[in-house]
Amino acid sequence: MPACTMDFPAIFLWILFAVLGACFGSFFNVLIYRMPRDMSLIKPGSHCPRCKHKIPLWQNIPVLGWLFLGGRCANCKETISIRYPIVEFLAMLLGFAAAFLTEPKAFQDANIIRCFCLFWLLVTLIPIFVIDFKHLLLPDTVTIGGILVGFTLSFFEGGIGWLSSLIGIAACGGGLFLFSVISSKILKKEGLGLGDVKLLAGFGAIMGAELAFTALIIGSMLALAVVVPFRFLTKRNMASPLPFGPFLGLAAPISYLLGETIIETYTGAIHKVFGFI
Ligand SMILES: [Zn+2]
């Protein structure tokens, strides 16, 4: 088939994943606002927090709705935070990045499943960063959601297979849970939160145990590289709780895209040094 006819669906898919990202961004705005306040994510529908005016569908279109309204409630003119279009725009860019990096050429392409996996890992970074940094919490929608999304996608052609996904969930969730229990007993203080355990279990479901554990190693290194100097500079107590979710979350797409190369490189290096693996 000539290249020009192959290009159209690819660009169409980039746009499609960007739009899907923007829709996820719109939902994340709801999640970021309501979850820490213990509010339902479904009821009531979108409304102005000041005058309770219901926001019609057209005003709820990601990014554009906010621009149409000039950043103010149509009824009481209360300012609508710029955080809303920023989150939606960022999610749109991440959706686009997922398609751009995995290069699915058509819906039947096996890469489409890889694209959905990367899409989930990238867009959920937004609620992970915002909510965990602010409230030291990881929403179940993202963590348990990741387990369900990963397990479901594993069944499709191009997925990792349901058995690998199941082993990923059990090994990563179980392994990190055990580590958390043992380390909190030894250190006599609460270690990792259950949210981190569920988040890693989700990564196990999406990319299998090996890549998810690689994400755990990368995430731990990122956390150390950022948190230790930060605490030293701000003279904060080293024992105060810190969010691990954002570092683990950031490590997941890195491991998903580059994990196999990283594993090959370090097993190759070990082999060179010791000559037995
Ligand atoms: Zn209003």
State which of 90, 123, 156 marks the end of a domain: 123
Cα of 138 to ligand 1 centre, how many Å? 30
Cα of 22 to ligand 1 centre, how many Å? 23
Q: What is the pLDDT of residue 7?
A: 53
Cα of 123 to ligand 1 centre, how many Å? 29
| 164 and 117 belong to one structural domain | no
Map 93-160 to HEC letters: HHHHHHHHHHCCCCCCCCHHHHHHHHHHHHHCHHHHHHHHHHHCCCCHHHHHHHHHHHHHHHCCCCCC
Which residue range is the domain that position 160 belongs to? 138-277
Q: What is the DSSP letter of 238?
A: T
| 119 and 159 belong to one structural domain | no
Q: What is the pLDDT of residues 180-192, one digit of tens each?
A: 888 888 877 777 7
Cα of 139 to ligand 1 centre, how many Å? 27
Residue 232 maps to a domain: yes
State which of 72, 96, 123 marks the end of a domain: 123
Q: What is the pLDDT of residue 42?
A: 85
Q: What is the pLDDT of residue 241?
A: 73
Which residues does the chain have with pLDDT short of 70?
A: 1-8, 236-240, 276-277
| 102 and 79 belong to one structural domain | yes
Cα of 35 to ligand 1 centre, how many Å? 21
User: E strand or H helix at 17, and its extent?
Assistant: helix 3-34
Cα of 141 to ligand 1 centre, how many Å? 28
| 151 and 266 belong to one structural domain | yes
